[in-house]
C-alpha cells in the first residue's frame, strides 16, 4: 500500500521513524521496538537521572559475586537479560534482570530503571514482585521473584508446554481465556495506578508451574500521572514509535500522545484474544511498512464460523481503529470474556443440540421419502426430538440471551410441527406451534387448514357412523329373537287352536271366525312389540323390520278381505297369506338381513302345502308360523353381540 494513501499528517513522522527502524537490520517484526531516546525533553531527562541516582545512592560497589551467585540464563529479550541467581543472604533463588551487554546504552539502561520503578510500584498478584534495585559494573540490576514456568507464547506454539495446573478441569482454549482474564486484572490495577504498559503480548506473560500468571516487561510503560514527570516517562512525552508491530494499536503506529491511554492496552488485549482465536497475530503483513499500515487501519476481522461469534465480536470491538469504539476499560473487556466463559456451557449444549437437530431433519426426510418403513423409524424421530429440544432449553436456562439456542429451539419446534402437520396429527402440531414466540404465520395457516380438513373429515366419519349404526342389523338381535319366538308361539297357537275347534265341531270354518282369528294375533303382536319397543327398535334397520312385520299383517288382512269380497274360499286366502309372508321375509332378507332367507322358504313351502292339502290349511299355516318365526329367532340369536361374545 502506497504511503500517499494515508491522509493523516502524523504518518509522515511515522515514515521517518521507519527509516530508523529499518536501519536496525537485526530487529524482527515480533520483537519490541524500543525508541532510541525516551524523551526529547533534556531537562526532564536530567531530572529523572538525578532522582534515580538519588534513589540508588552513590554506592556502586555492589558486585553480583558478593550477594548473588549466577546459576543460569533463563531469558533474553530485545534489550534485557534475565538470569537465575542464588541470593546468599536469604538462601533463595531469585531472578536478576540486567541490560544485555550489546544493548548497554542510555536508552536501554533508562528503560530498565523505569521498568524497575514501575514494577516496584505495582504490587499485584499478577505482576512479579520486585525485591531490590541496585547498580553493578554491568549497569542497573533488578532482583525479582523467581518463577518457574514458561512464557505464554511458548504454550500457544506448543500446547504440550502448558503447565498442568492451567488445564485442571478445562480444555486448552478455556485455559488460555482464563490466563487472559488474569492479564486483564494486572492491567486494570496498573491503569488505576496511572500506568500504561504499551507492550502486551504472549511473550511478556509468564505462566508459573503452580498456576501463577505474571505480566512482565514494563520497559515501555508510561505514566498518566503528571506528578511522575522527571521520574517516569509520561504519555504526553511520547514522540516516536514503540511496541511490537504484530500487536500495535493505530495510535501507537503514529505515536499519538493524545490517543495513547488505557484503551491502547485494551487494544493489545484484543490482539492477544485474536491470536488465541486464530493462532495468528492480529497484524500479519510482511515488512515494517506493510504491517504498520495494517495496524494503522485495524480493519474488523471476519472470523471463521468455528470461532465463537461472541468472542469474535469482543476481539473486533477491542481492536477497533477508533479508541472510542473500544471497551471503555480493561475491566469491561475482562467482564465480556468472563461472560463468554459463563455462556460457554450454553454454547456447548447448543452445538450438541444443533447436531441432533440435523439428525432429526434427516430422519424426517427419510421417513417421508420411504413411507413403507416400520414404526421404529417413526419412533426414532421422537427419540431425536426429545434430547434436541431439551438441549436447547438447557442452554437457555444457563443463558437466556443465547441467540443460537433461541433460533435452534425455534427451528426444532418448527421442524417437528411440520412433521406432525404432514402426519395430520392436529393436537401434537397445535401444542408445538403454540410454543413458538413469535408465532409462525405459515405453520398457523397450515394448522388452520388441517383443522378444517379434519373437521370436514370428522363430519363425514360421524355421518358414516350414523349410517352404519342405522343399518347395523346386529343391534338388538337378542331382543328381536325373543320377539320372533313369542310371535312364533302366538301365531302358531292361534291357527292350531282354530283348527282344533273346527275339527271338534265347536265352530265352522267361515270368514267370521277367520277374521276373529286374524285380529287376535294382530292384537297380541301389537302388545308384544309395544312392550318391547325400547329394546327391539335400536336403529333404523330394526324399525324397518318391525314396520315390515306390520306391513305383512296389513297385506294379510287386505288379502283376506279381497278374497271375502269376491267370495273365494278361505283356503285360498290362507295360501296367499303364506305367499305374502314368504315374500315379505325374502324382501327383509334382501334389503336388511340376508340371514333369514331360510325362513321365507318355510312360508313358501306352507303356501304350496295349503294349495295341495286345503283341508289342512290351518294346521299347515300354524306349523309355518311356528317354525318360520322360530327359524328367524334362532338366526337372530346366533348373531347377537351377547352370543358372539361368548364364542
pLDDT above 90 coverage of the chain, percent: 43
CA dihedral defined by 323, 284, 206, 169, rounded to 10 degrees? 90
Give the C-alpha separation, 234 to 236, whole Å. 5
Query: Which tens digit of pLDDT belongs to each residue from 70-88?
Result: 888 887 876 788 899 998 8
Q: Residue 268 — very low, low, confident or very high, per pLDDT cuts 50/70/90?
A: very high
Backbone angles phi, psi at 221, to 5 degrees: -65, 150
Region of poorest pLDDT, from 27-31, 158-162, 182-186, 284-288: 27-31
Is residue 116 scored above 60 in pLDDT?
yes
Q: 337 vs 114, which has greater pLDDT?
A: 337
Query: Which tens digit of pLDDT belongs to each residue from 405-439?
Result: 999 999 999 999 999 999 999 999 999 999 999 99
With 0-12 / 13-18 / 19 or more C-beta atoms within 10 angstroms meaning exposed / middle / buried, residue 565 is: exposed
Is residue 98 scored above 60 in pLDDT?
yes
Q: Residue 108 — very low, low, confident or very high, per pLDDT cuts 50/70/90?
A: confident
Q: Rounded to whole angstroms, what are the CA distances from 375 to 54, 62, 370, 378?
A: 90, 89, 12, 5
Q: What pLDDT shows up at residue 408?
A: 95
Q: Residue 249 — very low, low, confident or very high, per pLDDT cuts 50/70/90?
A: very high
Query: Which tens digit of pLDDT belongs to each residue from 507-541?
Result: 888 888 888 877 877 787 788 888 888 888 888 88
Q: 147 vs 17, which has greater pLDDT?
A: 147
Q: What pLDDT shows up at residue 592?
A: 82
Give the C-alpha separation, 503 to 145, whole Å. 143
Q: 250 vs 139, which has greater pLDDT?
A: 250
Is residue 496 scored above 50 in pLDDT?
yes
Angle made by CA atoms 626, 480, 642, in degrees to the nearest 5: 120
State whether residue 424 is helix, strand or coil: coil
Is residue 642 scored above 90 in pLDDT?
no
Is residue 228 scored above 80 in pLDDT?
yes
72 near 96, Cβ under 8 Å? Answer: no
Region of poorest pLDDT, from 198-212, 250-264, 630-644: 630-644
Q: What is the mean pLDDT of residues 223-227?
A: 91
Q: What pLDDT shows up at residue 58?
A: 43
Q: What pLDDT shows up at residue 385?
A: 95
C-alpha cell of 172? 486448552
Backbone angles phi, psi at 143, to 5 degrees: -105, 125
Q: What pLDDT shows up at residue 89?
A: 85
Q: Residue 19 — very low, low, confident or very high, per pLDDT cuts 50/70/90?
A: low
Is residue 265 scored above 60 in pLDDT?
yes
609 near 620, Cβ under 8 Å? Answer: yes
Q: What is the mean pLDDT of residues 99-113?
A: 78
pLDDT mean across residues, the chain: 85
Q: Residue 9 — very low, low, confident or very high, per pLDDT cuts 50/70/90?
A: low
Q: What pLDDT shows up at residue 477?
A: 84
SS (H, E, C) 44-104: HHHHHHHHHHHHHCCCCCCCHHHHEEEEEEEEECCCEEEEEEEECCCCEEEEEEEECHHHC
Is residue 45 scored above 60 in pLDDT?
no
Is residue 63 scored above 50 in pLDDT?
no
Q: What is the mean pLDDT of residues 391-398?
A: 94
Which of 127, 273, 100 is closest to 195 using CA atoms? Answer: 127
Region of poorest pLDDT, from 263-267, 387-391, 617-621, 637-641: 637-641
Q: Residue 29 — very low, low, confident or very high, per pLDDT cuts 50/70/90?
A: low
Is residue 634 scored above 70 in pLDDT?
yes
- Each domain of the chain, given as residue ranges in start order, spans 338-469, 472-646
Is residue 52 scored above 90 in pLDDT?
no
Q: What is the mean pLDDT of residues 145-173?
A: 89
Q: DSSP 3-state helix, strand, coil percentages of the chain (rounded to 5)?
A: 65, 10, 25
Is residue 59 scored above 90 in pLDDT?
no
Give the C-alpha separation, 309 to 352, whole Å. 17
Amino acid at each position: 500500500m502506497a504511503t500517499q494513501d494515508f491522509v493523516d499528517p502524523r504518518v509522515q513522522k511515522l515514515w521517518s521513524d521507519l527509516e530508523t527502524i529499518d536501519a536496525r537490520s537485526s530487529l524482527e517484526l515480533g520483537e519490541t521496538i524500543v525508541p532510541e531516546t525516551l524523551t526529547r525533553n533534556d531537562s526532564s531527562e536530567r531530572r529523572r537521572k538525578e532522582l534515580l541516582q538519588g534513589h540508588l545512592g552513590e554506592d556502586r560497589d555492589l558486585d553480583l559475586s558478593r550477594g548473588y551467585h549466577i546459576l543460569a540464563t533463563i531469558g533474553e529479550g530485545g534489550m534485557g537479560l534475565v538470569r537465575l541467581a542464588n541470593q546468599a543472604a536469604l538462601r533463595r533463588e531469585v531472578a536478576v534482570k540486567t541490560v544485555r551487554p550489546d544493548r548497554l546504552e542510555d536508552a536501554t539502561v533508562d528503560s530498565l530503571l523505569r521498568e524497575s520503578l514501575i514494577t516496584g510500584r505495582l504490587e499485584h498478584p499478577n505482576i512479579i514482585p520486585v525485591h531490590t534495585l541496585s547498580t553493578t559494573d554491568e549497569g542497573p540490576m533488578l532482583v525479582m521473584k523467581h518463577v518457574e514456568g514458561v512464557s505464554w507464547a511458548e504454550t500457544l506454539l506448543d500446547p504440550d508446554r502448558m503447565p498442568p495446573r492451567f488445564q485442571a478441569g478445562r480444555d486448552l482454549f478455556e485455559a488460555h481465556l482464563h490466563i487472559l482474564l488474569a492479564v486483564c486484572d494486572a492491567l486494570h490495577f496498573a491503569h488505576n495506578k496511572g500506568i500504561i504498559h504499551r507492550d502486551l503480548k504472549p511473550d511478556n506473560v509468564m505462566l508459573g508451574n503452580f498456576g501463577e500468571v505474571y505480566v512482565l516487561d514494563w520497559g515501555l510503560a508510561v505514566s498518566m500521572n503528571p506528578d511522575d514527570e522527571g521520574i517516569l516517562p509520561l504519555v504526553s512525552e511520547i514522540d516516536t514509535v514503540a511496541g511490537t508491530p504484530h500487536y500495535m494499536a493505530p495510535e501507537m503506529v503514529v505515536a499519538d500522545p493524545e490517543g495513547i491511554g488505557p484503551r491502547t492496552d485494551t487494544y493489545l488485549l484484543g490482539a492477544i484474544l485474536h491470536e488465541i482465536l486464530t493462532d495468528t497475530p492480529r497484524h500479519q503483513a510482511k515488512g515494517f511498512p506493510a504491517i504498520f499500515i495494517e495496524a494503522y487501519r485495524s480493519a474488523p476481522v471476519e472470523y471463521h464460523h468455528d470461532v465463537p461469534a461472541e468472542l469474535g465480536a469482543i476481539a473486533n470491538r477491542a481492536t477497533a481503529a477508533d479508541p472510542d469504539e473500544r471497551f471503555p476499560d480493561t475491566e469491561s473487556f475482562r467482564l465480556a470474556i468472563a461472560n463468554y466463559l459463563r455462556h460457554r456451557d450454553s454454547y456447548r449444549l447448543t452445538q450438541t443440540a444443533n447436531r441432533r437437530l440435523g439428525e432429526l431433519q434427516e430422519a424426517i426426510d427419510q421417513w417421508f421419502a420411504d413411507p413403507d418403513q416400520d414404526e421404529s423409524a417413526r419412533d426414532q424421530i421422537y427419540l431425536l426430538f426429545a434430547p434436541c429440544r431439551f438441549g436447547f432449553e438447557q442452554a437457555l436456562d444457563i443463558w437466556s440471551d443465547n441467540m443460537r439456542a433461541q433460533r435452534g429451539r425455534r427451528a426444532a419446534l418448527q421442524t417437528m410441527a411440520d412433521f406432525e402437520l404432514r402426519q395430520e396429527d392436529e393436537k401434537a402440531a397445535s401444542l408445538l406451534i403454540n410454543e413458538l414466540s413469535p408465532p409462525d404465520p405459515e405453520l398457523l395457516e397450515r394448522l388452520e387448514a388441517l383443522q378444517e380438513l379434519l373437521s370436514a373429515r370428522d363430519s363425514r366419519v360421524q355421518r358414516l357412523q350414523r349410517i352404519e349404526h342405522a343399518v347395523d342389523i346386529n343391534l338388538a338381535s337378542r331382543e328381536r329373537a325373543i320377539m320372533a319366538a313369542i310371535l312364533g308361539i302366538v301365531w302358531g297357537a292361534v291357527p292350531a287352536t282354530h283348527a282344533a275347534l273346527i275339527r271338534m265341531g265347536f265352530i265352522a270354518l267361515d270368514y267370521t271366525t277367520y277374521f276373529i282369528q286374524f285380529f287376535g294375533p294382530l292384537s297380541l303382536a301389537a302388545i308384544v312389540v309395544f312392550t318391547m319397543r325400547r329394546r327391539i327398535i335400536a336403529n333404523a334397520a330394526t324399525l324397518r323390520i318391525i314396520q315390515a312385520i306390520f306391513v305383512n299383517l296389513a297385506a294379510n288382512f287386505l288379502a283376506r278381505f279381497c278374497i271375502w269380497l269376491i267370495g273365494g274360499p278361505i283356503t285360498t286366502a290362507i295360501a296367499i297369506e303364506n305367499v305374502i309372508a314368504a315374500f315379505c321375509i325374502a324382501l327383509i332378507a334382501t334389503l336388511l338381513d340376508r340371514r333369514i332367507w331360510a325362513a321365507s322358504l318355510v312360508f313358501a313351502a306352507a303356501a304350496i302345502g295349503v294349495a295341495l292339502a286345503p283341508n289342512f290349511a290351518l294346521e299347515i299355516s300354524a306349523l309355518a308360523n311356528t317354525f318360520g318365526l322360530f327359524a328367524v329367532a334362532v338366526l337372530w340369536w346366533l348373531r347377537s353381540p351377547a352370543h358372539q361374545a361368548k364364542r
